[in-house]
Structure 1
Amino acid sequence: MSAHPHRSALYTVEQVREMERAALATMGISGHDLMRRAASAALASLRRHWPQARRIGICCGPGNNGGDGFLLGVLAREAGLQVELVALNATAHGDAALARGEWEVAGGQVRLWDAESRLPMADVFVDALYGLGLNRAPEPSAARLIDGIHASGKPVLALDIPTGLNADSGHCPGAAIRADVTVTFIVGKRGLHTGRAADQVGELELASLGVPESICARVQPDAQLLIADALPPRARYANKGSNGHVLVIGGDHGMAGAACLAGESALRAGAGLVSVATRAEHVLALNATRQELMVHAVEGVPSLIPLLGRASVLALGPGLGQGDWAHALWQAALNADKPLVLDADGLNLLAHKPCTFSVPTVLTPHPGEAARLLGVSTADVERDRFAAVRELARCYAAIVVLKGSGSLIADPNGRLDVCPWGNPGMASGGMGDLLTGIVAALLAQGCTAWQAACLGVGLHARAGDLAAQHGERGLLASDLLAPLRTLGNGLAGHVHG
């Protein structure tokens, strides 16, 4: 398997098919030849991950994904492995029929899967049931086969896409393979990197199958994976005024912690000054928790106005609530015409009173908040996260971060980046407040809204992964603050578990 020059680029199913057609024409090979290259890459991956495996169970569907499986069976038998092959259908079509014929001519047997079937004994199962084209739930027979594979407890190698996972959206409408390893072919597919993909794909490998870089270069990627990055070193003559002043607005009754986390993460991400506008009852506790924060009692708009004047960036929403106090501060903050980051109740208030933004603005909704902003259900958002985040960015004229597994960042023109980091331990209270402060701090230090969102999401997720080295369960938002500072300074190699 060769490294691919476009491994950070992500494509839609239609784009992949366009590249496949161009590859066959340019390279002067047949679809069957390309299928054999895929089978060879799959065998190399299988032997690399499970070198002791001797019995291989291959489950094939009727299309080209099944054809990859048939040819993998041919190559595996030639390599001395014992192969048993189960097929969903009695026939195949197109190039897959040629592959099936090659398996049978080589002496391979095909066991047809039906209601009475049982899986063969195997050390590893290969999922070659359905590939790019499946955009519905697998039929009951295939679902029963998928359940049987999982019940076996044996490792699974998926070819191109785990069956049941939508290659465009990362959504699973029904039963879906949970692979230990997925080897995907030619280029990256966007659905392998967000939504349910994290539970289905396992370790992801890319095999280019020898497709020339020039063919990929003809097609503009639909999205890109974020790359690890940090801000450049500061100038030696820098002072606190050089690095911006973030004002966190939030912390209604009983919610001081959200405002505190946003403020402290803004400090750790490099803001020169951070103020917090919150309820009077929280001032003493926040000053005692983090003395570097400038905490102000704000019980109404008159006391907020001078703070707005001194700030360069606003972080609006952590613990804000949705009552009269919150709404008044929210409206005053929007009227200040300052660059801002909206999260939590800042977004819920926006859903009640939509507007577009003329200043640099980053919205950071989770799927539920995104649904309220779009007037749809959370299930609708999760069904196509790519469409949802692009529609949000267009509707609100802002940079939008759709949080969750494989967070997405979109701009109003449709540009989209995907975060490849993060872990389930980050599904805990306060993580969103932390991200709000980070993005606000980056805006304050001179990043554009797009740069701040992409870099902020990446730093936040990577800090979460470093903090989770001691275990995901029980991970606290505040655990990310130390690695956040290290990563923000480009010192990832200096972090020790």
Structure 2
Amino acid sequence: MPPTDHHILPEELYSADAVREIDHYVIDQQGVDGFDLMQSAAASVFRRMIQRWPEPGRILVLCGSGNNGGDGYLVAAAAQRHGLPVTCLAVLPQEKLAGDARKAWQKACGDGVEVLELEALSGAERDQQFASAGLIVDAMLGTGVTGAPREPVAEMIRRCLAMHVPVVAVDLPSGLDASTGGAAGDVLRADLTVTFIGLKAGLFTGQGPEAAGDVCFEPLGTEVWLTGAGQLPLARRADWRTVKTSLPRRPVTAHKGRFGHVLVVAGDRGFGGAGILAAEAAARTGAGLVTLATRPEHVAPALARCPSIMVQGLVHGSELAALVEAADVIVCGPGIGQGAWGQQMLQQVIASGKPRVLDADALNLMATRVAVQDEAHILTPHPGEAARLLECPVAEVEADRLKAIAQLRQVYGGTIVLKGAGSLVDGDRDPQPYIVSGSNPGMATGGMGDVLCGVIGALYGQLENPALAARMGVALHLAAADRASSRRGYMGLLPMDVIDALPELLAEAELAHSRH
């Protein structure tokens, strides 16, 4: 999946309802002609499409019966005017078209575009239409549709998924919920999504990153009216480029005591690597001091891997007290297990009241306790752990990740990181949650979460704002994975590769500081 061109994307992410309200405000109160807006949208799609695929071959445009379909008819008209072979497939009956969408259909027909009605085609004729396509434009379902796509749209989505040709989605991939990033049924996978008016939150989390592909934003000249429309963002977008400017500059008089002492409590028997990864990640992310508290048998491997950290072997939770007292931030959870050793360690960490990052088995143990709110902690669950913390099915978390993180914040307080494609970060100092845009399939391997909590712990020790530390940590972790996978690919990516890439990215941020 090609990377989204983040540098031209705004920060604000809106719900489907908010974007529709902005659209209505622009048309009804600012006097912008709706059909003119539709023509601008179609021209933007066509321009982006041809920039990406200058010789697309025969273009097949799948049109629904709403304004999204109207956009599709006008994209086809643009292709026809430029001498490109194009066919429109009216997936839903043309008699359902009304208003601007009907004008668009009429224009396409008037310009000589071949328009075929899906219901009039046999199965073999449908096969032929798809087999001869060099590029497909999805203009079936827009932001006004929720729930699982019904037939015949679902059939068209399945056909697109079976194809090996580029797919361009107009505003939103069909089947994707624009607000949540969930998908109740079949969802199209696009190579390029050209979206309008306001960025939809669902494009950047849940199923969105996979479904949308490369996201391009076209405001269509409406940005001057965003404030007047009175719609608040549902979330905000962040990535390493936008957050790295908040990394504190280090003075020449710096010493290790200024950058936090991170205590990593991790690694019961058989899981020693989890603690080592978290501790090394903390050290590589600029922590002044790092101590690893783990099982005694893991001390020698930890020192062999990373001799700059301090390592203490513990048999019982009572031995942790002195280490906790010396620490500024505690990272607890990777590989601690859910037995007596892990329970003792977690009890000591929580009782300390110190700033802390809780991950993995710390979260699973918390799910068995009475929930207690604490603003000092950062919780970093993946969807399965989030489901256990909320006592709900994983599918419910994934269906609406923004709702899930709001519930976690309500129950547990502090700062929440809901991991996954388009990880969410929600802290009490932020007016809306942040979606750290981007995804990397190479991160689907054991140990990546251990690295993340070490990174966040180190940044928590250097920043006063836990939500900023979490947001920056998630963005840095993803950027490091992207950097490492650009050299090694996705399938063989290991957590150590991500750790090795961390200093490169931090060095680039430091260089940016020096230029200013």
Q: Which residue of 1 aligns with 2:98?
A: 93
Q: Which residue of 2 aligns with 1:165?
A: 176
Alignment of 1:105-184 (within 5 A): 105-114=110-119, 116=122, 117-118=125-126, 119-120=128-129, 121-184=132-195
Q: Are 1:472 and 2:472 matched, yes or no?
A: no
Query: How many Å separate the matches in 2 of 1:355 and 1:149?
Result: 45
User: 1:359: how far off?
Assistant: 4.2
Equivalent of 2:444, from 423, 427, 450?
A: 427
Alignment of 1:32-431 (within 5 A): 32-90=35-93, 91=95, 92-114=97-119, 116=122, 117-118=125-126, 119-120=128-129, 121-216=132-227, 218-227=230-239, 228=241, 229-230=243-244, 231-412=247-428, 415-431=432-448
Q: Deviations over 1:402-425 (max 9, x none)?
A: 111111111247621111234100
Aligned AA for 1:111? L
Q: 8 Å contact 1:162–1:177 — kept in the other structure? A: yes
Q: Deviations over 1:214-260 (max 9, x none)?
A: 42574322111114233233111111111111111121111110011
Query: How many Å separate the matches in 2 of 1:221 and 1:169?
Result: 13
Change (3 A) 1:151 1:299: closer
User: 1:265: how far off?
Assistant: 0.6
Does the residue aligned with 1:418 lie in a helix, a strand or coil?
Answer: strand
Aligned length: 492
Query: How many Å separate the matches in 2 of 1:338 and 1:491?
Result: 29
Aligned AA for 1:377? P
Q: Which moved more, 1:230-239 or 1:107-116?
A: 107-116
Q: 8 Å contact 1:19–1:216 — kept in the other structure? A: no
Does the residue aligned with 1:490 lie in a helix, a strand or coil?
Answer: helix
User: 1:213: how far off?
Assistant: 2.7
Does the residue aligned with 2:152 lie in a helix, a strand or coil?
Answer: helix
Does the residue aligned with 1:246 lie in a helix, a strand or coil?
Answer: strand
Point out where structure 2 has 5 or more consecutive residues left out of the alignment: 1-5
Change (3 A) 1:6 1:45: closer
Q: 8 Å contact 2:81–2:111 — kept in the other structure? A: no
Q: Which moved more, 1:222-231 or 1:159-168?
A: 222-231
Query: How many Å separate the matches in 2 of 1:266 and 1:150?
Result: 41
Q: Deviations over 1:360-403 (max 9, x none)?
A: 21100000000000000111111111111111112111111111
Does the residue aligned with 2:367 lie in a helix, a strand or coil?
Answer: helix
Q: 8 Å contact 1:244–1:444 — kept in the other structure? A: yes
Q: Which moved more, 1:76-85 or 1:266-275?
A: 76-85
Could you tell me the percent identity over the aligned residues? 39
User: 1:303: how far off?
Assistant: 1.0
TM-score (norm 1): 0.94
Query: How many Å separate the matches in 1 of 2:135 and 2:283?
Result: 49
Change (3 A) 1:288 1:216: same
Query: How many Å separate the matches in 1 of 2:509 and 2:500?
Result: 12
User: 1:167: how far off?
Assistant: 0.9
RMSD: 2.0
Query: How many Å separate the matches in 2 of 1:381 and 1:373?
Result: 11
User: 1:8: how far off?
Assistant: 2.1
Change (3 A) 1:214 1:96: closer
Q: Which residue of 1 aligns with 2:3?
A: none
Change (3 A) 1:46 1:195: same
Q: 8 Å contact 1:192–1:201 — kept in the other structure? A: yes
Aligned AA for 1:444? G
Q: Which residue of 1 aligns with 2:504?
A: 486
Change (3 A) 1:125 1:437: same
Query: How many Å separate the matches in 1 of 2:451 and 2:224?
Result: 39
Aligned AA for 1:51? P
Q: Which residue of 1 aligns with 2:19?
A: 16
User: 1:153: how far off?
Assistant: 2.4
Change (3 A) 1:406 1:221: same
Q: 8 Å contact 1:316–1:341 — kept in the other structure? A: yes
Equivalent of 1:450, from 467, 472, 475?
A: 467
Change (3 A) 1:198 1:4: closer
Query: How many Å separate the matches in 2 of 1:400 and 1:347?
Result: 12
Query: How many Å separate the matches in 1 of 2:351 and 2:161?
Result: 55
